[in-house]
């Protein structure tokens, strides 16, 4: 269920994009699920077609949905592939941390710092 708050300072397209992204990430919308057409969703939510179109475009650019021409827009498997890639990276990181003797608390602080800075350390060869 999507709710757009007209009184919010957040633009409607961003409210829609964020809510759909959250539903995809928490698997409320599963891989392969067909999304409503842009026109139908715009009518249901009382939004302009271009507003919904922008939200869909941004979701597509993020790899969360894919548009298959006249067949419509669907939840992409790319989001799930990204989650699996992150799980593998976390397992690799945990193995490195264990091999060099860093404790869990420090390992978590290292990850938090990397996430906060928005950068990652270069891979060693």
3-state class of 34 per DSSP? Answer: strand
Task: Give pLDDT tens digits for 2-40.
Answer: 999 999 999 999 999 999 999 998 889 999 999 999 999
Range 102-109 average pLDDT: 94
- Do 27 and 67 lie in a common domain? yes
Residue-range definition of the domain harbouring residue 83: 79-119
**Residue 24: exposure state from Cβ atoms within 10 A (0-12, 13-18, ≥19):** buried
User: What is this structure's pTM?
Assistant: 0.66
Per residue in 42-87, pLDDT (tens digit) is: 999 999 999 999 999 999 998 899 999 889 999 998 767 777 788 8
5 in a structural domain: no
Q: How many domains does the chain have?
A: 2
**Residue 84 vs residues 29, 79, 88, 95, 110: alpha-carbon distances, Å:** 17, 9, 6, 17, 21
CA distance from start to end of the chain: 47
Site of tokens 């690799």:
92
pLDDT score for 119: 54
């Amino acid at each position: 269920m999507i709710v757009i708050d007209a009184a919010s300072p957040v633009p409607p397209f961003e409210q829609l994009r964020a809510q759909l992204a959250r539903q995809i990430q928490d698997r409320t919308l599963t891989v392969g699920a067909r999304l409503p057409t842009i026109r139908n969703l715009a009518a249901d939510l009382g939004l302009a077609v271009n507003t919904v179109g922008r939200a869909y475009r941004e979701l597509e650019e993020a790899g969360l949905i894919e548009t298959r021409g006249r067949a419509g827009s669907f939840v992409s498997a790319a989001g799930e592939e990204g989650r699996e890639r992150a799980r593998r990276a976390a397992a690799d990181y945990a193995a490195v941390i264990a091999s060099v003797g860093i404790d869990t608390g420090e390992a978590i602080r290292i990850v938090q710092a990397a996430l906060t800075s928005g950068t990652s350390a270069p891979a060693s060869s």
